[in-house]
Amino acid sequence: MPSASPFITLNTGAQMPTVGMGLWKISKDTVADQVYEAIKLGYRLFDSASDYGNEAEAGQGISRAIADQLVTRQELFITSKLWCTYHQRQHVKPALQRTLQDLNLDYVDLYLIHFPIALKHVPFETKYPAGWSLEENGPVISENTPYQETWEGMEELVMEGLAKNIGVSNLPGAMIYD
């Protein structure tokens, strides 16, 4: 197995590997085996998102690696992302709970706001993952949800132990200056 990846220390003291495996565009049919094999090769950071549509299968690979004692949960650094349709504060926690259920985990190491775009809420029962639109090639319906509201929901996740660290993704720094 290769040596451990270098890491950076986050403001919480958590150590995040600088090399990881992104799960975007990996087929549901292969992602469980790819995650499992990556763990065997020494990967410890996995970057997922509900929008990728493969978190349940990725979770199967993680669970199998833990069950086979290739790794412990504490040795992994799992990242996921809050999709745009869950930016209202009351939807932030249920969105992460769904991700945790899919990944078969009790917490994520890092939970990011995926994009700085709040979209109209779409219930899980209607469409999951919600995507950009309810209909293929349909309109993108934005919603006026301030970043601060979303961020406060994210902070609650940390206080409850569901996410160890939180942050933003795909967001220019200038957009968060207050």
Pairing of strands 15-17, 7-9: antiparallel
Q: What is the pLDDT of residues 158-177, one digit of tens each?
A: 999 999 999 999 988 888 77
51: nearest Cα among 156, 148, 170: 170
Q: Which of 36, 43, 52, 111 is catalytic?
A: 52
pLDDT value of position 177? 75
Q: What is the pLDDT of residues 37-83, one digit of tens each?
A: 999 999 999 999 999 999 999 999 999 999 999 999 999 999 999 99
pLDDT value of position 153? 98
pTM of the model: 0.95
Determine the Cα–Cα distance for residues 166 and 154; give it in Å rounded to an integer. Answer: 7
Q: Is the pLDDT of residue 4 over 60?
A: yes
In this structure, are residues 78 and 66 in contact, taking their beta carbons and an 8 Å threshold?
no
C-beta neighbour count of 99 within 10 angstroms: 25
Instruction: For 32, list phi and psi in degrees, rounded to 5.
Output: -60, -50
What sections of the chain are H helices per DSSP?
A: 28-41, 55-67, 89-103, 147-159
C-beta neighbour count of 33 within 10 angstroms: 13
pLDDT mean over 142-148? 94
In this structure, are residues 124 and 95 in contact, taking their beta carbons and an 8 Å threshold?
no
CA distances to 6, 38, 154, 171 from 59, in Å: 24, 13, 22, 27
Q: List the structure tokens of 137.
A: 């090639």
pLDDT value of position 151? 96
Average pLDDT, the chain: 95
Lowest mean pLDDT among 6-15, 137-146, 150-159, 167-176: 167-176
pLDDT value of position 3? 52
- Asked about 52 being catalytic, the answer comes back as yes
- In sign, the C-alpha dihedral spanning 86, 89, 94, 99 is positive
Q: What is the pLDDT of residues 107-130, one digit of tens each?
A: 999 999 999 999 999 999 999 999
* 164 three-class SS: coil
pLDDT mean over 80-107? 98
